[in-house]
A and B are shown apart, each in its own frame.
Chain A
Amino acid sequence: MLVNHDHHHDHAHSRAHACQPLGDTVISVRNAAFGYGGHAAVHVDHLEIRAGEVVALLGANGSGKTTLMKGMLGLVDRLAGEVDLLGQPVDQLRERTPIGYLPQRQSAAGPIPVTVRELVRSGQLSRRHPFGLRRDDRAVGSVLDVVGLGDLGATRVDRLSGGQQRRALLARALVGGSRLVLLDEPFAGVDQANQEAIADSLDVLLHDGLTLVVVLHELGPLEPLVTRVVVMDGGRVRFDGALDDAPPQLLHMGHDHDPHGGPEPPHGLGLVR
């Protein structure tokens, strides 16, 4: 598996280079193990993401996509290896430039009502500007327009539909004007029309040189934007390269694909190609 993985990895880079020049390495994961409570759930030998890439992290439920993304951000226990984020070790980021992050779900907040605008504004803070003194209400307004919530700024987040809440959290991830955006299932609970609207707005942002890492169940409307796919299975990277080169059986996650005899994924990726 390791050989296979490395082969595709190199292949992907040569291919991507042919298409467009890639920038500096923005995320680097080396020989890392991530997990919770001292128990490793995800092992990654080598994963590098460079400026300007659009990387889809694919895999079935429980394959380790979310844990890997949290590992890149330093949000889960790192039991081994190294992670560099924007050229610095992830746990030593003193001058952290803004990073956009859409978590799979918002961590439990209390009972106090929060408006969409209040939620989105919180995405403008950073280590450099922890007091929010550079708050920019126009940026909040325009990012709400981008995700299609322009009229709902004063609405309580808990009164929105599931898909609208997802879009509010996406707006919070994008409002800081970050060059590096990590989205965990941005389309969960979002209907088809809004998925396409979000993909269109991400497309616009990508023209400004955004680097995007997206955890996805299926590529959906993001497929034309993706420059590289990383397929996870059983806590390990099974493929890393261009979508066209991905073995179809990995993307389709059939019933007898797993050469390692590992546990079967609960269901396929549903990737229609």
Chain B
Amino acid sequence: MALALVAANAISAVFEYDFLRRALIAAVLVGITAPAVGVFLVQRRLALIGDGIGHVAVTGVALGLVLNRAPVAVAVVVAVIGAVAIELVRSLSDTSGEIALAVMFYGGIAGGVVLVSKAPTGSRNLTQYLFGTITTTSNGDLVVFGVLAAVVLAVVLLGGPALFTVSNDEEFARALGLPVLAINLTLAALTALTVVVSMRVVGVLLVSALMVVPVAAAQLFARSFRGTCIGAVLLAVAAAVLGIVVSYAADLPSGGTIVLMAIGFFVLALVTSSLRRLVRSAGGARG
């Protein structure tokens, strides 16, 4: 009863408040793009790379705040450069690469925190970009996010077979003569763009959860790679929209709420699929 009331309030608020509508649109964009890039990262066993690129993006956001102009645009540039550097270090180095990546990840956060202390607005603003808040998305942000999301989706749809082939069997892709390094750099750049799309509502430190957790949930049920992609996008959009609504209704930070929603879906999927397997094996034993 109380829940229905909250939901009704939230729905009427969507029509009443522009900021909430903008937050929902931004959430849908993140919900579509994050898992669309994340499936390839997960299949390459690089689920944590999104997290690292998010760390580097912190420096970009801080730089934007210090310059006091267009933190989103500056974040795009810094995150893409950082992502390409991370992928180059990862793919061109051997065992020492892991240390180099760690240094870049910590450097991204540390640089961001130090830089932002010199920003005219102080460090208060940085928290919004790190963990997301529903009140800050402007119309200008939405246009930028929309364009970035369209670029990410267009590349994933057009280059899907190549991204799949490289993430599924990199050595085979090289034998085919595919430009593996260029494809991997493209995936890194797409990951960086997705991090930026997420920075208002999910936050750069939490976005990689939306790249990984919905994929992890969907692969428990899907029978194909394609099915996993579609399932993960549906779950992520649902988590993002529900997260925004709950965040508004209960006055909670949106990024954390969205990610907890996605984790809730994952746990639900895990329990259901385990139960299903139990029932099936019990049925098999009877039969």
Task: Type the 1/0 row for B159-170, where 1 means its CB is closer than 8 Å to any CB of A.
Answer: 111101101111
Q: Which of B40-48, B70-78, B246-254 faces chain A?
A: B40-48
Question: B42 contacts which chain A residues (CB < 8 A)?
Answer: 110-112
Q: Are A125 and B162 interface neighbours, CB within 8 A?
A: yes
A96 to B178, CA, bound (A): 9
Interface contact tally, CB-CB below 8 A = 112
Is A20's beta carbon under 8 Å from chain B?
no
Shortest A78–chain B CB gap in Å is 14
Main secondary structure of the interface of A (DSSP, over half): loop
Q: Are A103 and B215 interface neighbours, CB within 8 A?
A: no
Of B44, B174, B177, B224, which contacts A114 at CB under 8 A? B224
The closest CB in chain B to the CB of A132 belongs to B161
Is A61's beta carbon under 8 Å from chain B?
no
A187 to B179, CA, bound (A): 30
A121 to B43, CA, bound (A): 17
By size class, the interface of chain A is 35 or more
Q: Are B219 and A122 interface neighbours, CB within 8 A?
A: no
Is B286's beta carbon under 8 Å from chain A?
no
Within residues 129 to 181 of chain A, which ones have a CB less than 8 A from any CB in chain B? Answer: 130-132, 135, 154, 156, 172, 176
A118 and B164 contact, Cβ closer than 8 Å, known pairs A103-B175, A113-B219, A131-B159: yes
A114 to B40, CA, bound (A): 12
Task: Type the 1/0 row for A88-107, where 1 means its CB is closer than 8 Å to any CB of B.
Answer: 00000100101101010011
Question: B161 contacts which chain A residues (CB < 8 A)?
Answer: 121-122, 125, 131-132, 135
Is A115's beta carbon under 8 Å from chain B?
yes
A73 to B172, CA, bound (A): 10
Within residues 162 to 218 of chain B, which ones have a CB less than 8 A from any CB in chain A? Answer: 162, 164-165, 167-179, 183, 215-216
Shortest B281–chain A CB gap in Å is 15
A99 and B43 contact, Cβ closer than 8 Å, known pairs A109-B168, A113-B222, A122-B164: no
A153 to B164, CA, bound (A): 17
Q: Are A37 and B94 interface neighbours, CB within 8 A?
A: yes
Q: Are A122 and B165 interface neighbours, CB within 8 A?
A: yes
Q: Are A108 and B45 interface neighbours, CB within 8 A?
A: yes
Question: A135 contacts which chain B residues (CB < 8 A)?
Answer: 161
Is B106's beta carbon under 8 Å from chain A?
no
Is B226's beta carbon under 8 Å from chain A?
yes
Q: Are A115 and B178 interface neighbours, CB within 8 A?
A: no
Is B228's beta carbon under 8 Å from chain A?
yes
Question: B219 contacts which chain A residues (CB < 8 A)?
Answer: 111-113
Question: A118 contacts which chain B residues (CB < 8 A)?
Answer: 164, 224-226
A99 to B178, CA, bound (A): 11
Shortest A191–chain B CB gap in Å is 24
Question: A121 contacts which chain B residues (CB < 8 A)?
Answer: 161
Within residues 116 to 168 of chain B, which ones have a CB less than 8 A from any CB in chain A? Answer: 158-162, 164-165, 167-168
Within residues 223 to 256 of chain B, which ones have a CB less than 8 A from any CB in chain A? Answer: 223-228
Q: List residues of chain A with CB under 8 Å of any chain B CB.
A: 37, 73-75, 93, 96, 98-99, 101, 103, 106-115, 118-119, 121-123, 125-127, 130-132, 135, 154, 156, 172, 176, 182
Since A75-B171, A107-B171 are in contact, a sample of 20 more A-B pairs with Cβ atoms closer than 8 Å, ordered by chain A residue number, is A73-B174, A73-B175, A99-B175, A107-B172, A110-B43, A110-B44, A111-B216, A112-B215, A113-B219, A114-B168, A115-B225, A119-B168, A127-B177, A130-B159, A130-B162, A132-B161, A132-B162, A135-B161, A154-B223, A176-B176
Task: List 16 A–B pairs whose Cβ atoms lie within 8 Å, in order of A's numbering.
Answer: A75-B171, A103-B169, A103-B172, A106-B168, A112-B43, A112-B219, A112-B222, A112-B225, A118-B226, A122-B165, A122-B168, A125-B165, A130-B179, A154-B224, A156-B223, A156-B224
Q: List residues of chain B with CB under 8 Å of any chain A CB.
A: 39, 42-45, 94, 158-162, 164-165, 167-179, 183, 215-216, 219, 222-228
